[in-house]
Structure 1
Amino acid sequence: MKPIKTVYISGLGAIGAAYAGKLYEMDPECVRVIVNQQRRDRYVSDGVRVNGRLYPFRYLLPEDTADPADLIIIAVKQHQLEQAIIDIKRFVRKDTIILSLLNGIVSEEIIGNSYGMDKLLYSFVVGTDEVREGTSIQFSSMGRIVFGEKENIEYSSKVIAVKDLFDKAGISYSIPENMMRELWWKFMMNVGINQTSAVLRAPYGVFQNIGEARELTAMASREVVLLSRKAGINLDDSDIDKYLRILDTLSPQGKTSMLQDIEAGRKTEVELFAGTVIELGNKYGIDTPVNQMLFRMIRTLEQAGSS
């Protein structure tokens, strides 16, 4: 596979903007951001800043004529995925690689239903503490992108192409042998920390220092551990300990994306987290009382915040 020269990004939130900035620093000509007219007008008018630096990204409307991308990175929220799949259509060709940085364990298959699983690599971001206010993003830890095929004992040509790009751009990454286990691990982490932080309105420091908060996030995550055994993934309590150690490295003032959504009155991804846990619990006959409670609490916060 040829080297990646053009990268189009759908979604300029905290994660999308941070990685768009890294690619822009490598080569301003290589990166484009796919947006609708309203967002383009706002980004051009207000500017997009990452850690105080202004990035004059080049924007593409879904209807624009442009060469297809070598790599498309989708970094939207789950409820925006359907539109993103439509928006990237003109820019996908036979050998385009698609990376979905969405949370959860289902986005790759959803995208693959439209464009073919042969274009997809599984991926997620871990160890990041980006905070977004309007079009300004701040972070002390950018984290890393975990990506690959389902199994990566030997690297495919797609994996090598993305690896080479990330090396050139200075983007931290890891390529696990068992990608599906890592994907479930990140899902377990999000089910725990994202949801409990939103309900408690608590930054990372609360979970670093208060035992009861720490145990609450672990309780939500243990339900994913039980489900993973039924799904053949086989997470265990050591995987919870692993993410709690990562949590301890983040800025105490940092906030999860779900907490930021609640504070800003935006739609959260609770259906992607607790909703998926509840659905899988029904499928496998496993009780999920913690996530049942979190789902109802977060939906209440959403509706109260939007009223």
Structure 2
Amino acid sequence: MPAIRKVSIIGAGALGAAYGALLFDMDRDCVSFVAAGERFERLRREGVIVNGRHYAIPVLAPEDTSLPADLVIVAVKNHHLDAAIGEMKNRVGRDTIILSLMNGIDSEERIGAVYGMDKVLYALTMGIDALREGNRVIYTTQGRIFFGEAKNPAVTERVARVQALFDRAGIAWETPPDMLRTLWWKFMANVGINQASAVLRAPYSAFQAPSEARDLMLSSMREVIAVAEKAGVSLTEEDIEAFDPILARLSPEGKTSMLQDVEARRKTEVEMFAGTMIALGEKYGVAVPVNRRLFEAIRDIEKA
């Protein structure tokens, strides 16, 4: 089984920088960012600073024709995915594995529609409390990457290659039996805490104990359970409870990615969260009033 030696990361935000730094610490020749235009110039000029340490991670332009990567990690916002799919073209070769760490439940299919699902593994991150300001990223809890084939009754060779890379880099990982269900579980958590935190401008501490903020989070999560049932995915109240230990480990002062976007006046991923819930609710005939209110509230925040 050939080891993964070259990794390209699309997206140098909180996740891309955090995992890029861990890979760089393992082998400075292993990892590079891919970026275009002003982002390319800024990353080459400034690098990223992770937990107070500066990392001059190499940056490749999309038109760079050097050898393709063994692994491409996609860590962009939903509204940047189409551009990222084009920018990563020269990094994808015959044997390249593509791992999307994006929120939501459809990025793998969108990437696979261009490069083939035989190159794509399903993935998500859970439990990392990374905060980004400019090119600076701080985190106290690494969390872990959940990844694998759609179903994992046994470990395939490409999954094993990524597992081995993450072990070498000190990246915590888990390969669950059913990645599709795990993606929906993470979607449920994001629909709850990301959106509630953005509307209330609240850090993790607001959701770690009984409160009106926590009630709002739970109400939106329960709507995901109802929609998932109609979509053939079994989520229950026990899945909400399974999120609590993860939430408890996050820094009380930490902020969700959507709250960080709101505070930085960046576009949020509300279309991917509440927008997807509204569309699925209409498709399956499931009422999602909480997500409709959250959608309107966050859109109003964006307009302001």
- TM-score band (shorter)? over 0.9
Runs of at least 5 residues in structure 1 that lack an aligned partner in the other structure: none
- What does residue 157 of structure 2 align with? 157
1:126 aligns with 2:126: yes
Aligned-pair CA distance for 1:210: 4.5
* Distance in 2 separating the partners of 1:298 and 1:109: 27
Whole-angstrom distance in 1 between the partners of 2:72 and 2:78: 17
Tell me what 2:110 maps to. 110
Identity %: 54
Q: What whole-Å deviation, never above 9, does each CA across 1:110-136 have from its counterpart, x for those lacking one?
A: 000000000000000000110000000
Partner of 2:268: 268
Deviations, residues 14-63 of structure 1 (Å, cap 9, x unaligned): 00100000000000001010011311222233331000000010000001
| Matched residue, 1:54 | 54
How high is the TM-score relative to the length of structure 1? 0.97
Look up the match of 1:207. Answer: 207
Could you say which residue in structure 2 is the equivalent of 1:178? 178
Structure 2 gaps, min length 5: none
Corresponding residue SS for 2:95:
coil
Write the mapping of 1:164-243 to structure 2, written as runs, cut at 5 A. Answer: 164-243=164-243
Preserved contact between residue 43 and residue 59 of structure 2 (Cα < 8 Å) = no
Q: Which amino acid aligns with 2:226?
A: L
**Structure 2 CA distance for aligned equivalents of residues 57 and 263 of structure 1:** 27
2: CA distance, partners of 1:232 / 1:99: 24
- Aligned residue for 1:63, secondary structure, equals coil
Q: How many residues align?
A: 304
**Secondary structure of 1:254's aligned partner:** coil
Cross-structure match for 1:144: 144
**How far apart, CA to CA, are the structure 2 residues paired with 1:74 and 1:140?**
22
Q: Helix, strand or coil for the counterpart of 2:258?
A: helix
Distance 2:116 2:72 in 1: 14
Name segments (4+ residues, structure 1) moved above 2 Å: 43-47
Secondary structure of the residue that 1:159 maps to in structure 2?
Answer: helix
Distance in 2, matches of 1:196 and 1:102, equals: 19
Q: Deviations over 1:251-281 (max 9, x none)?
A: 0000000000000000100011001111110
Letter in 1 for 2:94: K
Q: Aligned to 2:98, what secondary structure does the other structure show?
A: strand
**What is aligned with 2:90?**
90
2:93 is paired with a residue whose SS is coil
For 1:157 and 1:225, the matched residues in 2 are separated by 33
CA deviation digits over 1:153-209, x for unaligned, max 9?
101111011001011111000000011111100000000000000000000011113
